[in-house]
Amino acid sequence: MGTLLESIHSPADVKKLNYAQLTELAEEIRVFLIQTLSKTGGHLGPNLGVVELTLALHMVFDTPADKLVFDVSHQAYIHKILTGRRERFETIRQPGGLNGFMLRTECEHDCYGAGHAGTALSAALGMAVARDLSGGKENVIAIAGDAAFTNGISFEALNNIADQTKRLIVVLNDNEWSIDRNVGAIARYFHRIVTNERYRNFHESAARLVQKFGGKTAMTVVRRAEEAAKSMLWPSILFEEFGLQYFGPIDGHNLPLLVETFQFLKKEDRPVLLHILTEKGRGFQPALDGQKKFHGLGPYDPETGKTTAGLTTYSEVFANTLVQLANTDPRVVAITAAMPNGTGLDLFRPHHPKRYFDVGIAEEHAVIFAAGMATRGFRPVCAIYSTFLQRAFDPIVHDVALQKLPVVFCMDRAGLSGDDGPTHHGLFDIAYLRGIPEMVLMAPKDEDELADMMKTSLSLPGPSAIRYPRGAVAGVARKDVPEVLPVGKAEILVDGSDVAILGLGPMITLASELGVRLEREGFSAAVINPRFVKPLDRETLELYSRRVAVFVTFEDHVKMGGFGSAVIEALDDMGVSVPVVRIGWPDHFIEHGKVDALRAKYGLTVEAALAEVLPLLARRQRRTLVAS
Ligand SMILES: Cc1ncc(C[n+]2csc(CCOP(=O)(O)OP(=O)(O)O)c2C)c(N)n1
């Protein structure tokens, strides 16, 4: 670790440095990031892009009194390093270590937690208004990427800012990338500003001026000239129409310029937006060459950036199956909300470019857009992570289900997401979807069944959703052509008469293991792949309720409102009183960590199930003995 970096224990240490030292510190931070994340994995590209920005913010502002609100907050690693967490930084995203996002419980300098995009402006405005109401003096700064401005919430906040406060700084960190290339009219608008020759020349000279003179006088000169230039080039600058004074674009890697600008902006008594230009992945050639890959990744070689080839994932099988289904059905269209890479849809795009839609980080819009297409006879498939689909709950109810439109929701990352932590765990989708009339909700036990479920979904007259997990597939043989499954019918894998074990989705492996263990103990265990959470296979439940002493349900979802709860409700409706042992996540936000370790900690294991099931089975044995 560099010697300057070793001397940084708090933001006060940053403030002691001169510009030459800050520039050196920026380089040391980059080396430290590249080396550390090569072992832990993480959001390398975004953080390499905001080294100077974060240093400048901590030079000028005083956290925790001043509030830095990072959008998504995947780019807050340097903030963590500068605010007393450098020594623990090697634990980032590791079990028991630092979280990969801002976390209020982790540190007093993390004033607002995030993980989902588009929240920074609203949250910062809330803090600014709270300050105004309580007579405070602190500065509030929202830092949002260009892709955050593809999100509706950012615009809802923009619409509101100038009416509510006079003191708020918004930093637009523009690197032209979302995870993939940023998309849409806003991205093009930013691009036009950035690439306008006259404006760029003007800004280069403005920057030189600031560096030469420094301080407010120079900035005032710059501002006057800037206003003149802007009125010449853009009579109606977007942000100005929203009532925010727009500054920029300036070089987001020029530390003195950033510092001087923030010193000036903090004195403004009107809301301001500073547009800075940064390079995602700056300082690491593999990240500059592979923007998508280095947005966020697992461990890599710190010299070459190479990663080990992964196993086939559910996302890949989803994408390849969708290509296959779209080949024979021209009504099929694919929609992603800024996640072509993560959902696998970037594999679909080259096959059917006209039927592929990246709408930006706009899940609500994605779903309503899909609803619109469905009214015109198309078969939209929305590939949205379980956690991000939470955003679109109302459109799913109001636009899709209520109108019985045949939109298919393919929910990747359903279940525990592991290293990313609570903002990214997909643990609530069954609870939020299963109460919606018309919805068909499925979970495949393996990749072959995922393909069948996609085919089934596309054959339905109304809405449906399929939940499947992050990561590698089960590795089973796949049929050449997917089949339509009988809706609401479970698959009985092993018959039995003492206990019926239902394992939803890939949790079927735990169900099968439990079955084997119980057989060894002398019990007859049925193992059932439910396939459908809704409609539930009541017939099969009824059949087993007459035979078994206990049901066991396994699900990678919160127990409350989940699959096991659906089974209990169904049995109760039938007037059956067989006990149900539910294995799933407790009513608690689960921290980040390794999936297996977290399952062990929270009792999502065969052992935990055995401990609950055996006494119930023993009770039945005793009753049988007494009866005989
Ligand atoms: C609601 C929501 N949808 C999708 C994502 C996935 N996601 C994480 S970061 C990101 C791109 C962010 O781009 P930008 O804000 O420009 O920041 P950059 O990484 O380029 O610095 C996306 C789409 C998310 N975090 N939240």
- The predicted-structure confidence for 104-116, as pLDDT tens digits, reads as follows 999 999 999 999 9
C-alpha 340 – ligand 1 centre gap (Å): 12
Q: Is the pLDDT of residue 541 over 60?
A: yes
| Cβ–Cβ under 8 Å, residues 33 and 107 | no
SS3 at position 356: strand
Give the C-alpha separation, 519 to 200, whole Å. Answer: 74
Find all residues with CB under 8 Å of 201, minimum gap 6, and list them: none
Give the C-alpha separation, 171 to 146, whole Å. Answer: 10
Report the interhelical angle of 120-134 vs 152-164 (nearest 10°): 20
At residue 202, the pLDDT reads 60
C-alpha 4 – ligand 1 centre gap (Å): 31
Of 30, 85, 93, 280, the active-site residue reads: 280
Q: Is the pLDDT of residue 232 over 50?
A: no
Q: Is the pLDDT of residue 207 over 90?
A: no
Give the C-alpha separation, 603 to 321, whole Å. Answer: 34
Closest residue (by CA) to atom 22 of ligand 1?
179
229, two tokens: 């230039």
Of 80, 355, 391, 470, the active-site residue reads: 391
Strands 440-442 and 464-467: parallel
Ligand 1: nearest atom to the Cα of 175: 20
Mean pLDDT computed over 579-602:
97
List the single range of 184-188, 258-262, 583-587, 619-623 with lowest mean pLDDT: 619-623
Of the chain, the percentage scoring pLDDT greater than 70 comes to 93
| Residue in 178, 278, 335, 365 to alter for ligand 1 test, most ligand atoms within 8 A of Cβ | 178
User: In the structure, what pLDDT confidence band is assigned to residue 371 with cuts at 50, 70 and 90?
Assistant: very high
Give the C-alpha separation, 440 to 488, whole Å. Answer: 8
At residue 194, the pLDDT reads 80
Q: Is 280 a catalytic residue?
A: yes
At residue 231, the pLDDT reads 44
Bridge partners (DSSP) listed for residue 247: 274
Give the C-alpha separation, 588 to 453, whole Å. Answer: 31
Strand order in the sheet with 525-529: 491-494, 525-529, 499-503, 550-558, 580-585
Q: Is 137 a catalytic residue?
A: no
At residue 192, the pLDDT reads 85
At residue 309, the pLDDT reads 85
Of 425, 331, 411, 335, the C-alpha closest to 375 is 331
Closest residue (by CA) to atom 14 of ligand 1?
145
Per DSSP, the chain holds a count of helices (H) and strands (E) of 27, 17
Ligand 1: nearest atom to the Cα of 144: 15
C-alpha 73 – ligand 1 centre gap (Å): 9
C-alpha 113 – ligand 1 centre gap (Å): 15
Q: What is the DSSP letter of 492?
A: E
Q: Is 391 a catalytic residue?
A: yes
| Cβ–Cβ under 8 Å, residues 568 and 580 | yes
Give the C-alpha separation, 555 to 567, whole Å. Answer: 12
Ligand 1: nearest atom to the Cα of 71: 15
pLDDT digit string (tens) for 427-465? 999 999 999 999 999 999 999 999 999 999 999 999 999
Closest residue (by CA) to atom 23 of ligand 1?
338
Mean pLDDT computed over 520-544:
98
Give the C-alpha separation, 412 to 395, whole Å. Answer: 19
C-alpha 25 – ligand 1 centre gap (Å): 27
Give the C-alpha separation, 257 to 265, whole Å. Answer: 12
pTM greater than 0.85 (yes/no): yes
Of 380, 468, 392, the C-alpha closest to 436 is 392
Measured in Å, how far apart are the chain's first and last C-alpha atoms? Answer: 75
C-alpha 568 – ligand 1 centre gap (Å): 38
Count how many residues are written for the chain: 628
260-298 as b/e, with b when 16 or more CB fall inside 10 Å?
A: bbbbbbeeeeebbbbbbbbbbbbbbebbbebbbbbbbbe
Of 85, 470, 56, 506, the C-alpha closest to 296 is 470
Of 260, 363, 449, 513, the active-site residue reads: 363
Give the C-alpha separation, 307 to 393, whole Å. Answer: 36
Q: What angle do CA 31, 33, 35 make, to 5 degrees?
A: 70
Ligand 1: nearest atom to the Cα of 182: 16
Give the C-alpha separation, 528 to 100, whole Å. Answer: 37
Ligand 1: nearest atom to the Cα of 342: 6
| Cβ–Cβ under 8 Å, residues 391 and 364 | yes
pLDDT digit string (tens) for 383-424? 999 999 999 999 999 999 999 999 999 999 999 999 999 999
C-alpha 153 – ligand 1 centre gap (Å): 13
More confidently predicted of 290 and 198: 290
Q: Is the pLDDT of residue 233 over 50?
A: no
Give the C-alpha separation, 356 to 382, whole Å. Answer: 10
Ligand 1: nearest atom to the Cα of 423: 25
Mean pLDDT computed over 96-109:
97
At residue 200, the pLDDT reads 63
494, two tokens: 């092993």
List pocket residues of ligand 1, CB cut-off 6 Å: 46, 49, 71-72, 74-75, 116-117, 145-148, 173, 175, 177-179, 280, 295, 337-339, 361, 363, 388, 391
Mean pLDDT computed over 119-130:
98
Closest residue (by CA) to atom 13 of ligand 1?
178
Q: With 0-12 CB in 10 A as exposed, 13-18 as middle and 19+ as buried, what is 581? A: buried
C-alpha 180 – ligand 1 centre gap (Å): 9
